[in-house]
A and B are shown apart, each in its own frame.
Chain A
Amino acid sequence: MLVIDCPYCGPRDQSEFSNGGEAHVKRPDGSAEIGDREWGEYVFIRANPKGIFYERWVHSHGCRKWFNCVRDTSTDEILKIYKIDEERPKLDSFKNNVKTPSGEPNLGSGNFTVKK
């Protein structure tokens, strides 16, 4: 179980939180001028990368505040947590251990037991 450092309450067990999927997905307004593709991508398409991922969490069994988080999905390591109105940290400020889309970090994925 992860420990998530809620920016309002401090570190708590993951069971107090709910995941809200990819962060920084901008919602187009609902007007008819928005194209089918743009709207469809907003509604249905989300990134699901292995490696560095910007995602949203809500402290649903706590302060009920939403916040953003950068997590390495290949190792589950939480790299940064920041409030909704704070600026998105740059991707190159994190070390990405996964070389290709289907790559695997040497340590921490849990998929290997033997040192290479």
Chain B
Amino acid sequence: MSELNLTDNKFIQFHQKIGFKFDGVKYYGYKGDTIASALLRNNVKLIGRSFKYHRPRGFYTCGIEEPNALVQIISEYSEPNTRATIKKIYEGMEIESQNRWPSLKTDIGSINNIFSPVFPAGFYYKTFMGPHKNFWKKIYEPIIRKAAGLGKPPKEFKAVSTHLYHNVDITIVGGGLNGLIAAKSLIDTNFSVLLIDFDDQLGGILNNSNKVQSVNNQTPMDWISETVNEIENSKNIKILKNTLVTNYNYINHLIAVEDKFVGSRPLKDKVNSTLHKIRTDQVILSNGHIERFLSFQNNDLPGIMLCSSFEKYMCRYGVMPSKETVIFSNNSNSESLVFSLIKKGFKPKAYIDSRSGENIEPGLFDLIRKNDIPLYTNSQIKGAFGSKKLQKILVEDSSGGVNEIKTDFLCLSGGINPDVHLFTQSKGLLDWDEKDLTYKPAQAFQPTITLGSASGQFDFNSITKEINEKLDIFGIKPLQINLKLNTSHKFKIEKLWEVLPQKQTIWSKSFIDLQNDVTTKDIRQAISEGFDRIEHLKRYTTNSMGTDQGKISSINALGIVSDLLDKKVNEVGTTIYRPPYAPLSFAAIAGRNSYEYYDPERKTPIHNWHVSNGAVFEDVGQWKRPWYFPINKDETMNDAVQRESKNVRENAGVLDGSTLGKIEIKGKDALAFLNLIYTNSFSKMKPGSSRYALMLGEDGMVKDDGIICKISDEHFIATTTTGGAATVLGCMEEYAQTEWPNLNVYMNSITEQYATFNISGPKTRNIIEKVFPEVDFSNEAFPFMTFQFHEYEDTPIRILRASFTGEMGYEIYVPSNQALKIWEKIINFGKEFGLMPYGTETMHLLRAEKGYIIVGQDTDGSITPLDLGLDWMIGKSKKDFLGKRSLIRSDTVRKDRKQLVGIIPTNKNDKLEEGQHIILDKEIKTPMPMLGHITSCYQSPTLGHNFALAVIKNGQSLIGTKAFASTPELKTIEVEIVEPIFYDKENTKLAS
């Protein structure tokens, strides 16, 4: 075990041993360890295989920027692509490495590494093009999909997450040194403040390095605990720990995800993660910086790590990834690692710096000299070598000589970048800093303040000044923070992006993106092929397109490209940083809108009756409607529908039509308004009568239909289709408010206030007279298309004589809470007359026999009333209604429009199907001109054969002729084109 001291601290509880399994082997770590720190404690340095070449990889970093160490958490529904550098262990955790087979040590896919010269950038685009178009779908894609990718999808996963909304004045993202000072200065002010940090410990760089010796003459740890305590006790600041801000949207809208089970196994029925949706007046970004790496041959070997990450493992977790490490740097950031190593008594094996001696920080230079550490200035690492782990490196010194150093560990620093991801998401602009060689926030688009290294301010001595200046807008008291440092306060760097290898072969690889296995050679090739725009280059090479989004490497790629193109980095630009900052699970995004809560289910007031009477349900929009009522479990749907249909024609049936939309329209101008909304004219209608009505779009196409009941000129009730209820109400409201605000009219949905029962069949009158004995249902007293209000046991009821089946029928409107009583009454009184409930399928069959259309089935938004043969429904004398002018557009008066017709097979045993094309020729040849298609098709128990409705070109003039319906097997069925009505053409039944 590589450990420092084992006394408990706030990060690690060394007295609490934790057992976990990695690839089946049991290891021990301590409470507070991440998977990475625990495995490094156990000297495990190989963690996974790379994406494309299956190369062995180790831990490159100690945080969220990790490109390599992605693992599958078997004990959490096999959650894939979890970063081992941030996921904390718990007792019994099971972890597996990814992208290897059969095992991590012997991986067959690593043969890709040997064949790598044939996998250059754009390999897939160039290679998998032939010989036949099906090759991609059938052969290439399945093989590539199996071999590529990161983890495997999770299993039996049922996430529980919740959403939480915040509206605050100020949100501070990042609780490091700058975030804490900013929060401290806002304590007990009138601002409501959220302080968010991804870590479970606030303090950032104070926890993770030895850069700072003291803050206001306190040790950093004392200062943090005192400050956090003050903040926690303040009235106005709330701290969210373990919470990662992933999105910075428009109008200061932040999305942050909080892990509720850090360091413990997620409980099945508890909320695992909370998605915070934060709207804030001001955002303070103090989310720090990210160290970047350097490219040289085999810079991906396990045993290579970033300098600041090594130091974090020491300071934060008390782990020494190696006792003898070599350091390679081009900037000041390595200084504090050297300081920490020497302080702990583990001298670096060698220190290599691309800078000359006089450019190296004097403190660092002295430290190295005093401790006799071999120093290579003006030097570069030409390559790293070893089998599955680092064994030696080659160093080119200032004289040009190449030295071999045997080592199992190497720490790298290629510079630091402000973490500008969130800033650019907010649409802020960056600017390249030639001195610090990085992009820095330059111009904010939203009310955003950047602080500390996140703003590109790398000088520790300027922290207080910057915070006091930038927070001055809040009118708060300036703070004085005195920092004493162990290292130099300023940041210096010399340009270095890539070191070319000693010997270039076709197998030598210098990586620029570790997660997606992109090499610097791929970048060169892309540019030579003309992909020299940075957005093109990114997509062609897949550079920085992994789940880490190239956090430690994308700036290096820009540096290399700018050198190759001989352009300034600002001219090369950066690719756009897109949310999320780091992967977040769909489960967190979905929140409670998942599974049974995904979409509300609407049920009619007598739904439970349907359930207990064995109904099979159909989803119509959000509604659950009885589809059919099988009499026993052996009855098929077809049998049930034939039986139900026959029964309605011979006796009577009752349908639960409660889902139909109902809109009440009132107002002095209600009549004028409805005359504008519907095609029909309602002016001459008598109160107490009703009318079948059509609603068009302004393009003249049928949008909805329904029955309008006129109570008076100032009071109407309209029904709509089940699916169209919300749209029709919305449309009425829109026109009432925007086009005809002068009309005095109000409308309201009463869909759920009333249940609707449709009784129809020849014996309807016998039944309904028993249910409502006081009502006179004779033809004279209650003619077709009239309605009446009645009281039934103190329940107000509206009865409408109408029919959607072709039989005589009534619709009964009952307040929802009384619905079951009436329904059961109808069923009971109906028994002796053979009444049966029927479902939507029978309703469809019966209405089709009668030639009644269903909007949305027989029409599709391209059918006018004239196409349906419904000319009689158009109020021609009306000056205006929705879509009126469109009925004489050149397109709507075309002669060859598709029109509604009936279809029956010539051979009565032939079966037709919805969707079949109607054609004129018996033989199918391509291209085959089609006339139209079948929109509705059923087997009629009354006719004894199949019949269909269809929309076909010039249909009305083709009635009486023969045509063919095509089948998927390229056969044809001879059919007759007939009038679209198959039952009771004279309408004798309706008025009987």
Contact = CB atoms under 8 A, between A and B. Distances in A.
Interface in B554-605: 570, 573-577
Interface string A94-116: 00000000000011111111110
19 contacts: A20-B734, A30-B881, A30-B884, A31-B884, A36-B889, A42-B698, A56-B738, A58-B733, A58-B734, A66-B734, A76-B250, A109-B427, A110-B427, A113-B424, A113-B430, A113-B576, A114-B430, A114-B431, A115-B429
Contact of A32 (B573, B739, B882, B885): B885
A40 interface: yes
Interface residues of A, number: 38
Contacts of B737: 65-66, 84
Contacts of B882: 30
B890 interface: yes
B53 interface: no
Given A85-B741, A110-B427, A113-B576, A3 B698 contact: no
A30 B570 contact: no
Interface stretch (B439-447, B497-505, B613-621): B439-447
A115 B443 contact: yes
Contacts of A85: 741
Given A30-B885, A40-B889, A42-B698, A113 B738 contact: no
**The 10 residue pairs across chains A and B that have the minimum distance between CB atoms:** A30-B884, A30-B880, A115-B429, A30-B885, A115-B442, A66-B737, A29-B880, A115-B431, A108-B445, A39-B885
Contacts of A64: 733
Contact of A30 (B251, B427, B576, B883): B883
B432 A36 contact: no
A114 B427 contact: no
A80 to B, nearest CB: 16
Contact of B885 (A31, A44, A113): A31
Contacts of A58: 730, 733-734
Nearest to B442: A115
A64 B698 CA distance: 22
Nearest to B439: A114
A43 interface: yes
A31 B880 contact: yes
Nearest to B446: A108
Contacts of B699: 43-44
Nearest to A114: B573
A2 to B, nearest CB: 6
B889 A1 contact: no
Nearest to A58: B734
Contacts of A36: 889-890
Contact of A114 (B279, B432, B738): B432
B253 interface: yes
Contacts of B886: 39, 43
B729 to A, nearest CB: 9
Interface string A2-37: 110000000001000000100000011111101010
Contacts of A1: 249-251, 253
Interface residues of B, number: 41
A30 B442 CA distance: 56
Interface of B: 249-251, 253, 279, 424, 427, 429-432, 439, 442-443, 445, 570, 573-577, 698-699, 730, 733-734, 737-739, 741, 879-886, 888-890
A60 interface: yes
Given A30-B883, A40-B889, A112 B429 contact: yes
Of listed B250, B424, B573, B883, residue having the most chain A CB within 10 A:
B250
B429 A2 contact: no
Nearest to B576: A113
A112 B575 CA distance: 8
B251 A3 contact: yes
Given A3-B251, A114-B570, A28 B429 contact: no
A114 B429 contact: yes
Nearest to B734: A66
Contacts of B253: 1
Nearest to B250: A76
A108 B427 CA distance: 5
A107 B734 contact: no
Contacts of B573: 112-114
A64 B882 CA distance: 21
Nearest to A85: B741
A13 B252 CA distance: 12
Interface of A: 1-3, 13, 20, 27-32, 34, 36, 39-40, 42-44, 56, 58, 60, 64-66, 75-76, 84-85, 106-115
B574 A114 contact: yes
A34 B431 contact: no
Contact of A28 (B251, B576, B730, B885): B885
A107 B442 CA distance: 11
Contacts of A75: 427, 445
B429 A66 contact: no
A91 B884 CA distance: 33
Nearest to B426: A110
A32 B733 CA distance: 26
Contacts of A107: 427, 429, 443, 445
Contacts of A113: 424, 429-430, 573-577
A99 B442 CA distance: 23
B576 to A, nearest CB: 6
A30 B734 contact: no
A31 B884 CA distance: 7
Of listed B430, B576, B738, B886, residue having the most chain A CB within 10 A:
B738
A32 B892 CA distance: 14
Contacts of A106: 429
A63 B103 CA distance: 61
Contact of A39 (B439, B741, B889): B889
A106 B882 CA distance: 44
A114 to B, nearest CB: 5
Contacts of A43: 698-699, 886
Contact of A115 (B430, B575, B730, B885): B430
A84 B741 contact: yes
Contacts of A39: 885-886, 889
A76 B576 CA distance: 18
A99 to B, nearest CB: 18
A20 B575 CA distance: 34
B823 to A, nearest CB: 32
A32 B888 contact: yes
Contacts of B733: 58, 64, 66
A39 B883 CA distance: 10
A67 B754 CA distance: 32
A42 B570 CA distance: 47
A2 B251 contact: yes
Of listed A1, A32, A66, A115, residue having the most chain B CB within 10 A:
A115
Of listed B427, B879, B883, residue having the most chain A CB within 10 A:
B427
Nearest to B252: A3
B576 A110 contact: yes
A40 B733 CA distance: 23
Given A60-B730, A114-B439, 18 more contacts: A1-B250, A1-B251, A3-B251, A13-B279, A20-B734, A28-B885, A29-B879, A30-B882, A30-B885, A31-B880, A32-B885, A75-B427, A107-B429, A107-B445, A108-B445, A110-B427, A114-B570, A115-B431
A111 B888 CA distance: 45
Nearest to A111: B576
A8 to B, nearest CB: 12
A2 B250 contact: yes
Contacts of B577: 113
A14 to B, nearest CB: 9
A31 B879 contact: yes
Contacts of A34: 885
A3 B614 CA distance: 48
Contacts of A111: 576
B137 to A, nearest CB: 35
A84 B738 CA distance: 7
Contacts of B698: 27, 42-43
A75 B426 CA distance: 11
